[in-house]
C-alpha cells in the first residue's frame, strides 16, 4: 500500500465517520409535531443542517475513496473501511458523550490488528 493510497483511505473513512456523527446529532435535534406523518418526519430529518453536513462529508469522502481505488487493489483497500468502526466509536465518545466499554476497546483492537496484518503482510 502506498503512503498516498493509505492517506486517501484514512481521510475518506474519517469523513464517513464524521458524517455518521453529524447524522446522529442531526436526528437527535429534530422535533416532530404530534401525529406527524412519515413524509413530514423524513423531510424534517433530511433538511436538518447536521444531516446535510453529514451528507456533504460523505460526498467528499466518496470522492477521495474513488481516488484511493485508482491507486490500489480493491481487495486491499476495502477492508480498511473497518476503521470506520473505530473512528465512529471514538467520535461517539468525544462528541456525543457515549461510553467506551472494555468489550468495545477489545473489538477495536482486533480490528486494528487485522488491518495491520493486511497492510504489512505481503
- List pLDDT tens digits, range 81-93: 999 999 999 999 9
Cell numbers 492517506 correspond to what residue?
7
pLDDT digits (tens, 9 = 90+) for 14-52: 999 999 999 999 999 988 777 888 898 889 899 999 999
Percent of the chain with pLDDT over 90: 68
Q: How many domains does the chain have?
A: 1
Q: Over 80: is that where the pLDDT of 55 sits?
A: yes
pTM of the model: 0.85
Q: State how far the Cα of 83 lies from the Cα of 102, in Å rounded to an integer.
A: 18
Q: For residue 34, count other CB atoms closer than 10 A to its CB.
A: 4
**Average confidence (pLDDT) over 101-115:** 94
**Average confidence (pLDDT) over 82-109:** 94
pLDDT at 118: 84
Q: State how far the Cα of 98 lies from the Cα of 5, in Å rounded to an integer.
A: 31
pLDDT band, very low/low/confident/very high, at 1 (cuts 50, 70, 90): low
pLDDT at 2: 79
Q: Over 80: is that where the pLDDT of 114 sits?
A: yes
Structural domain of 36: 3-120
Instruction: Count CA atoms closer than 13 A to 8's CA, side-chain side.
Output: 18
Amino acid at each position: 500500500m502506498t503512503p498516498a493510497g493509505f492517506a486517501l483511505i484514512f481521510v475518506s473513512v474519517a469523513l464517513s465517520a464524521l458524517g455518521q456523527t453529524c447524522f446522529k446529532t442531526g436526528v437527535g435535534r429534530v422535533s416532530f409535531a404530534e401525529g406527524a406523518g412519515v413524509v413530514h418526519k423524513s423531510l424534517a430529518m433530511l433538511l436538518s443542517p447536521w444531516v446535510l453536513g453529514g451528507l456533504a462529508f460523505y460526498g467528499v469522502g466518496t470522492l477521495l475513496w474513488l481516488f484511493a481505488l485508482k491507486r490500489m487493489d480493491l481487495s486491499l483497500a476495502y477492508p480498511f473501511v473497518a476503521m470506520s468502526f473505530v473512528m465512529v466509536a471514538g467520535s461517539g465518545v468525544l462528541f456525543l458523550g457515549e461510553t467506551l466499554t472494555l468489550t468495545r476497546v477489545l473489538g477495536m483492537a482486533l480490528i486494528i490488528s487485522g488491518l495491520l496484518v493486511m497492510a504489512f503482510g505481503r
